Amino acid sequence: ARPTAPTAPTAPASPTSPTSPAGTGTFVTAKSSGKVIGGAGDVRRFKVQVEEGTGIDPKKAAAEISAVLADERGWTRDRKHSFQLVSGGDFDFEVKIATPDTVDDICGQAGLKTRGEVNCAAGTQVMVNLKRWNTGSPEFDGPIGEYRALIVNHEVGHRIGHGHETCPGPGKPAPAMMQQIDGLKGCVANAWPYSKAGRYLGGPSVA
């Protein structure tokens, strides 16, 4: 899967801010497992891990991420991919919620610059910046749960082979694979790759 290209952050996050506490660099795996999500295609097994010191409950995070992947507007709608939450054994990718400094470190090892602001997909690791998980983005005017869905859908989209896309036209839903934190370019904020009717909400590819 293709890693997320870096975006241009506005300012580095402070590790002592309420939304970005100092992390330990040690991760706790959610002791949760689930049934296969989706009924077709390859099953991608995933783990959810949370960095110690973030204040995020691993089990609750795993439930929220699983719900995003199970949504009818998510990636299973393409009938090519299924997902399953696991707590051990073989896995295809890990969703890791971490402090900005830790995200910078892990993404930096993959050659990606996140500068305390954004998420990335680095190898089997889907790195979620705690700042974005807790506060969302100024470019996204929906509830925090919807922005978290965008994080998951965008980064998992890279894991299953999708590249970046851009706005297909004024007033249209922004693609989930668009770097919406950089601006909507006339589109409307949107967290999902598919509509409820099953239409792919995509846009022109970005090299």
Q: What is the residue-level pLDDT of the chain in tens, covering all 207 positions?
A: 344 433 333 333 333 344 456 778 999 999 999 999 998 888 999 999 999 999 999 999 999 999 999 999 999 999 999 999 999 999 999 999 999 999 999 999 999 999 899 999 999 999 999 999 999 998 998 899 999 999 999 999 999 999 999 999 999 999 999 999 999 999 999 999 999 999 999 999 997
How many C-beta atoms lie closer than 10 Å to residue 83's C-beta? 26
Q: Which residue has the tokens 């839903």?
A: 173
Residue 114 near residue 132 (C-beta atoms within 8 A): no
Percentage helix, strand, coil for the chain under 3-state DSSP, each rounded to 5: 25, 20, 55
Residues in the chain: 207
Q: Is the distance from CB of 177 to CB of 202 less than 8 angstroms?
A: yes
Q: Which residues contact 18 (CB under 8 A, 6 or more apart)?
A: none
* Structural domains of the chain ordered from first start: 27-162 (3.40.390.30)
**Burial of residue 198 (number of CB atoms within 10 Å: 0-12, 13-18, 19+):** exposed
For residues 170 and 158, what is the distance between their CA atoms, to the nearest angstrom?
25
0.85 exceeded by the pTM?
yes
Helix axes 144-159, 58-70, angle to 10 degrees: 70
